Structures are given as C-alpha cells and as structure tokens.
Amino acid sequence: MTERPGVGTRDERMEAVYAQMEAISRRAVARNRRTSAPLTVVQHTLLTFIASTPACRSIDIAQALRLNRSTISRQVGDLLELGLVEIGDDVGSGAESGSAQATRGAGAERTAR
C-alpha cells in the first residue's frame, strides 16, 4: 500500500487524532470543574468585599485584601465568566453592564445572581 506524501502513516494519523481528542477531553473536564465546583475561598472573599464596597476598583480590592493585582484580575475574570460580577464605569446601567472592556479604574459590582 502506498502512502500519500506529507500525510504520514495510518498509525501516525491515528496518534495525532488521539492526541487532539485527549486535549479536548482535558479542557472539557477543566472547564466543568471550574463552572460546577463551588467557589473558592478567595472568590467568596472577593464577592463579599465587592458586595460591601460598590464600584470598588481592582486596586482597592488588592490593597484591602493584601493580594497582588494580577491575582485579583484573574479571580475577577473568573467571576465575570460566571456572571457573578459586572465591570464598567456605569455598572448596571446597560451601557457597559457585563462588559470586560472596562476602562482603567472602572468599578466592579456584584450581580443579583
């Protein structure tokens, strides 16, 4: 049996397909854990702080909780994905409600969810 040039053997193609399916499976499991798992202690703390301090900025949260701003950004990003917080200059008005493209220094507020 003659192989087509540049395509590889059947076993090589099967290994490539298996590797891609394995990667997809890992991503699905990780996403499911992230969306189905209960919130972490840090996420609960952030939600409590945001609920008690409307329109707080990430720098405010970082200073109050003594965490790095990158940690706050990552955690708030996860909360945004879950729909638990909104970011924007005018949170809740509809103009930037739910938008991750908030301007520098924009406040965050907890959603009703």
Q: What are the helix (H) ranges across 1-113?
A: 10-36, 41-52, 58-65, 69-81
pLDDT digits (tens, 9 = 90+) for 44-102: 889 999 999 888 899 999 999 999 999 999 999 989 988 888 887 654 443 333 333 33
What would you report as the CA-atom Rg of the chain, rounded to the nearest whole angstrom? 21
Instruction: Write down the pTM of the prediction.
Output: 0.49
Tell me what the pLDDT averaged over the chain comes to.
76
Q: Which amino acid is at 48?
A: T
